[in-house]
Structure 1
Amino acid sequence: MKSKGLTTGLSALALCVALGGVYHGVALAGSQSSAVDDRAAALDVTKAKKALANRNGEEAVRWAEAAVELRPQVADYRAVLGQAYLLAGRFASARTTFNDALTLSPGDGKVALNLALAQIAEGDYAGAHQTLDSNSGSIPVSDRGLAMALAGDPSGAVNLLLPVARQPGADAKLRQNLALSLALAGRWQDSRLVAGMDLSPTDTDKRMTEWASFAHPASRYDQVAALLGVTPAADPGQPVALALNASTPVVATPAAPVEAYLPKAPAEVAVSAPAVEAGSSVPAPVAAPAVTSIVFGPRAEVVQPLPVQPVVGSKAPLIKAPKTAIKAAAFVKPMAAPTTPGAAKVSVGKGNFYVQLGAYDSAGVARDAWGRASRAYSGFADHAPTGMAVTVKGKSFYRLSVGGFDQNGAKQLCAAYRAKGGNCFVRANAGDKAADFKR
């Protein structure tokens, strides 16, 4: 399925970073690099970027693969190749390539965002969340929030975007991404209120109808294809000759269910009007668009079209938000943390064993991971997070855990969390103490 004219804050970045952004590649040094091959690879990647600008995916792939084959250690070339695979609708190859590019250039937010998008297209929602968490400091909040919503956590996206949307410097793109996240979380009236800050009433109605129409993806490939405006293609995978000879193998995170992130499916859209402070001037709430029964199924791939800036032929141009309307963001309430209904409570005794939930780049990233874990599995509600800073092969990590349990209790708690789609393992105390998320 190929969709035309669908542009979002996320997709615009995903397909344009290779054209307008600059990746800092790591070139081979001295005697290891041939000047002739350097020039040939640079010429190939220039042709690939031109093909991307012309939206010719197959040609872009051909030239970018040639560049990577000549210079496999240059992150820039692999990032451009990932862009080409996305444009060609080859999501599995894009995922592999962006993973390689991020290995060569850790911390590159543009590459990380594209990797998360490819992971979402492949159904690896847990992997997408991990990518977004690990690179939270380098991905703009607006794009990270929308990516979270597309990966099945619209509630988390609302809570991330809402405080920023209330700031004076918030722009139309961020507000529209917040509006989409609100819609995916089932808060249609709030969504319309926020979307209407930058759109005329008529265009806001159209926007709401579009979002309702696209709320039922046929498959993950179709929805991401609609987001990017590309046609999914049979993907043989990245050529073996282009495989990155990384010192540390990159292991794909298995797909995990994300139903715990999603709001319960309502029979109809029915939301209460947001509270308005006395004396404030806010446009009167308007009912959601005339869609008689908008039902969100338990699917995770909820990709929606979201024009966030004027494009050629766009029928919903952004307008300047009135000052009174901007204040409306202050009356949108944060999302209550969803919990997993009926989660069995595990009885644990005191001991020296811990359930490790992951190792993250920083304590701040671990804090976000704890928030998701405790939302996904309500059995963590009675326990406080623990953690510790470690250094592995010269790189610092923050281990997130929960524990101080007897061994059997720790195993049962980890098994219950895994049953809800989480990843964990049990180990003995290695210096764990009360989590310090301010580090």
Structure 2
Amino acid sequence: MKKHLLVSIGLATAMLGGSLALVAGGTVAVASSENGAAGKFADRAIKALAKRRPAQAVTFAEQAVALSPRDATYRALLGRTYLAAGRFGSASQAFSDVLALDPTDAKAALNLALAQTATGEWIAARETLAAHAARISPADRGLALALAGDPAGGIALLSDAARDPAATATVRQNLALALALDGRWVDARTVASVDMAPAQVDQRLMEWAAFARPEHAAQQVAALLGVTPSPDRGQPVQLALAAPAEPVALAQADPAPEAPATTAVAVEPVADTPVASPDPAPVQLAAAVRPAITFAPRREIVQALPAHYMRQAPVRMAARLRPVAAPAGRAPATGNYYVQLGAFDNAAVARNAWRRMSRTVPRLAALAPQGMQASVRGASFYRLSVGGLARAEAATLCGSVRAKGNRCFVRTHAGEQLANWARPERLASR
């Protein structure tokens, strides 16, 4: 399944650095470096990446950065090794450091957005893509935007790129995937069929259906890169990027001691007389501290305060707050907007997804799950949603669902009804 999910050759090359072209480019950059030791470690990291040994690559890249911490090339290589190892949090930090050193690095910006998406920071990922929009190709930026929770924005970019006469099959397949992530399966099939046989299209849509329902935030990016997420202890503290402050400290520090050097001889006789004075100084300070201990008896006055408060217990404001805390906000807002939580193979799978999401998003548990069967070109899906909400309320709820790593979108009523498994519970409540 992984080889079918690697639909963006340009995107995968920019992030992983596993292609021959990128490995060669890295070797040239290292050979021209002035730091020979760091360059050797970087060479080893690139070779380890080419051999699919990400753990070794991380070790070598970290050593290269430790020897040359302000080299953006080495830090970009470190970020790529973290991605290959499935350590997305460390990759995000590494690529942030690259952009701090070189804000024009488009590959680092794209990699940072993907790493942020994998860690569930969708808003930050979209902000990164927007800040570097002029440097990232629309085809790669569109797919990255769709993965970061904005499939509509990604579709707009990819549609323009696909209309270009020079557009490749990769661009069209990325557009088809973005349409699938947005739930537009008919359009996704139409675009995918331009470059694929009908049987291959059916197989691809089945794979995308699973891809569109990740179990955790890192799953989609990991599948796109062909890597496995792993526990991430974070980037070593000693590799943290520090601002270069050495020139400021060394420029004025040396001339200053030269002037007092001539007066040092005159100061020595004066220093003999104050030698006797330091002895009483600590004694006076110790005596000054002792009166502070006499404040301890004042604590007995504080202990008497609770007795006065006990007499006022019947007048506590808590009793007045209980009527105010009555369920005032439980009346659901009525409307024609629904939050679609996913399209699943059948009702049983949708029920399991509902149980999982309603546990992580408490606001869902107060609503009744809605469902309907849908058929797209012979493929049957079960759409799960909650609705009858005002538009603003539906948008807020969808934001809460996305914050937990799930996907959703807001739409109007499409004929769904109360889910079958929810009916017995509602009848029992009556």
Task: Return the TM-score normalized by structure 2.
Answer: 0.56
Q: Distance in 1 between matches of 2:118 and 2:342?
A: 26
| Pairwise CA RMSD | 3.5
Per-residue Cα deviation, 1:193-252 (whole angstroms, up to 9, x for no partner): 11111111111111111101222111012332222222221111000110001479xxxx
Question: Of 168, 171, 190, which residue of structure 2 is paired with 1:171?
Answer: 168
Measured at CA, do residues 186 and 296 of structure 1 come closer, stay the same or move farther in structure 2, by a change above 3 Å? farther
Q: C-alpha displacement at 1:265, in angstroms?
A: 4.6
Q: C-alpha displacement at 1:12, in angstroms?
A: 4.0
Give the secondary structure class of the aligned counterpart of 1:220: coil
Question: Of 62, 65, 81, which residue of structure 2 is paired with 1:65?
Answer: 62
**Cross-structure match for 2:229:** 232
Q: C-alpha displacement at 1:19, in angstroms?
A: 5.8
- The structure with more helix, counted as a fraction of residues: 2
**Cross-structure match for 1:8:** 7
Q: C-alpha displacement at 1:77, in angstroms?
A: 0.4
Q: C-alpha displacement at 1:105, in angstroms?
A: 1.0
Q: Distance in 2 between matches of 1:210 and 1:20?
A: 29
Q: Distance in 2 between matches of 1:206 and 1:109?
A: 34
Q: Distance in 1 between matches of 2:78 and 2:381?
A: 42
Alpha-carbon contact 1:90-1:234 (below 8 Å) kept? yes
1:45 pairs with 2:46: no
Question: Of 391, 398, 405, which residue of structure 2 is paired with 1:342?
Answer: 391
**Cross-structure match for 1:284:** none
Measured at CA, do residues 220 and 210 of structure 1 come closer, stay the same or move farther in structure 2, by a change above 3 Å? same
Q: Distance in 2 between matches of 1:296 and 1:79?
A: 42
1:88 pairs with 2:88: no
Alpha-carbon contact 1:146-1:157 (below 8 Å) kept? yes
Q: Distance in 1 between matches of 2:384 and 2:171?
A: 23
Alpha-carbon contact 1:24-1:75 (below 8 Å) kept? no
Measured at CA, do residues 58 and 290 of structure 1 come closer, stay the same or move farther in structure 2, by a change above 3 Å? farther
Identity between Structure 1 and Structure 2 (%): 46
Measured at CA, do residues 212 and 294 of structure 1 come closer, stay the same or move farther in structure 2, by a change above 3 Å? farther
| Structure 1 residues 114-125: aligned runs within 5 Å | 114-125=111-122
Per-residue Cα deviation, 1:300-350 (whole angstroms, up to 9, x for no partner): xxxxxxxxxxxxxxxxxxxxxxxxxxxxxxxxxxxxxxxx95338xxxxxx
Higher RCO, 1 or 2 (CA under 8 Å, sep at least 6)?
A: 1
The residue type equivalent to 2:392 in the other structure is A
Measured at CA, do residues 83 and 289 of structure 1 come closer, stay the same or move farther in structure 2, by a change above 3 Å? farther
Matched residues, number: 271
Q: Distance in 2 between matches of 1:67 and 1:136?
A: 30
| Structure 1 residues 366-381: aligned runs within 5 Å | none
The residue type equivalent to 1:110 in the other structure is K
**Cross-structure match for 2:21:** 20
Q: Which moved more, 1:96-105 or 1:212-221?
A: 212-221
Q: C-alpha displacement at 1:4, in angstroms?
A: 6.2
The residue type equivalent to 1:108 in the other structure is D
Give the secondary structure class of the aligned counterpart of 1:292: strand
Unaligned segments of structure 1, at least 5 residues: 28-32, 249-261, 270-286, 299-339, 345-375, 378-416, 422-439
Q: Distance in 2 between matches of 1:73 and 1:25?
A: 18
